[in-house]
Amino acid sequence: MTDLIPTRTAGEDLLATFAPRMGRRYTNGRNTDHGPGAHKAVSVLSPYIRRRLVLEADAVAAALAAHGPEDAEKFVQEVIWRGYFKGWLERRPQVWDRYRAGLDDDLATLDRDRRLRRDVDRAMAGQTGLECFDAWAAELVDTGYLHNHARMWFASIWIFTLGLPWRLGADFFFRHLLDGDAASNTLGWRWVAGLHTRGKPYPADAQNIATFTAGRFTPRRSDLAEVTQGLEATEPDGLPSFLPLRPVASPQRGRPTALLITDEDCRVEDFDLDALDIQTAATLVAGHLRSPLPVSDLVLRFEGGALADAAARAGVAPVAMQANDPASLARWAADAGATQIVTPFVTRGPLRDWLDEASPALVKHGINLCEWQRDWDTAIWPHATAGFFKVKQNIPRILEQAGLA
């Protein structure tokens, strides 16, 4: 995984290479974790899709073209899952806010509790004595990637066998995953904990691990906790009602414009840049916002490369910005005489929080923040109000709306 090149070209080459395996081979083999360097049954496109160096719609189109809707069904569903999670968190931003507040509380507890700190440190260093878990911890840190099945097992063991706070585990993932995404990561951990689908936690099962690691690991049943209930008793607040999607201001022609490139969407050339009066452009490094703790160098380097590639494809010579003082965003645009900042849509997560913090300074300078939205998102998000089943039922309609059927 460490040899992935953070460019659109590299992502599209990987997409083309994997397209012949997006049908029955993917359906039959996707659940088996063969270990580092051997993830051949899954696409490993997620670091590119996360930054939209490869578009979800293009991945789905490639699967449908190569295999047809029946054989490509499982691959298509897995791509749509990511959009479902993003839409779900957009509709329930309170869940993200609670995660960040809870993480701050857990980190404060970690500072006070030496035993907890020791146990968390051992888990992150792969020194628990549980072979499979320790191997996954090392793979995550060394490569920035874990097979999806391993992510579920790891999270389940972290929560139920080791008895560690789930948010600290989610933060460990978020700091190290090249494809780390606020929605997929937070809601994935909540799902394992039995908080997303209330009362249905995910148990790490010894036989399941042995089967779907092709015998690489054979834990004993006694190594793993029996999971009889999730964390709903310790987090009894339940799920908040879903909210309307937030309104988005569209770019206006003729206004002096500042173009902002972030790693939320590194395909700005897909939008009509020629219609804008672009006075300045900037790449915004924001990977460090993922956590109060240090973020992996692998993640930060991939982000930097993706931003540089995005700027080159857009044909701009950008200012390099760090997402530190939120007021600096308004100063950058105002110094160039811009009255609007234009960027692809930024979903709920640390960068959205930072942009919200920048809002008062933007208002003070008379600068509008405008966002482009993609058809893929607007097709999925209205259905992301409950479980995935509702989205799954609407996949034909979603594909039609996204121009893929």
> How large is the average pLDDT for residues 204-219?
97
Band of pLDDT at residue 138, cut at 50, 70 and 90: very high
pLDDT tens-digit map of 234-258: 876 667 888 999 999 999 999 999 9
CATH code for residues 95-233: 1.10.579.10
Q: What is the DSSP letter of 241?
A: P
Q: What is the DSSP letter of 19?
A: G
- Nearest Cα to Cα of residue 1 among 56, 47, 51, 53: 47
Question: What is the dihedral sign for C-alpha 94, 285, 48, 148?
Answer: negative
pLDDT tens-digit map of 335-360: 999 999 999 999 999 999 999 999 99
Under CATH, to which class is 8-90+379-401 assigned? mainly alpha
Query: Which pLDDT score, from 0 to 100, does residue 199 have?
Result: 82
Query: Which pLDDT score, from 0 to 100, does residue 237 have?
Result: 66
Q: Supply the angle between the helices 8-18 and 297-314 in degrees, to the nearest 10.
A: 100
Which amino acid would we find at residue 73?
E
Boundaries of every domain in the chain: 8-90+379-401, 95-233, 256-373
Band of pLDDT at residue 198, cut at 50, 70 and 90: confident
Does position 1 have pLDDT exceeding 60, yes or no?
no
Instruction: Tabulate helix, strand, coil % of the chain (nearest 5).
Output: 55, 5, 35
> How large is the average pLDDT for residues 292-301?
98
Q: What is the separation of C-alpha 72 from the centre of its chain, rounded to a whole number of angstroms?
A: 23
Query: Which pLDDT score, from 0 to 100, does residue 3 have?
Result: 84
Query: Which pLDDT score, from 0 to 100, does residue 235 have?
Result: 76
Query: Which pLDDT score, from 0 to 100, does residue 328 have?
Result: 98
Give the mean pLDDT of the chain: 96
256-373 homologous superfamily:
HUPs (3.40.50.620)
Contacts of 236 (CB under 8 A, 6+ apart): none
Structure token digits, residue 83: 């959009």
Band of pLDDT at residue 405, cut at 50, 70 and 90: confident
> How large is the average pLDDT for residues 293-303?
98
Query: Which pLDDT score, from 0 to 100, does residue 2 have?
Result: 61
Does position 105 have pLDDT exceeding 70, yes or no?
yes
Does position 229 have pLDDT exceeding 70, yes or no?
yes
Which DSSP helix (H) or strand (E) runs through 340? strand 340-344
3 state DSSP class of 260: strand
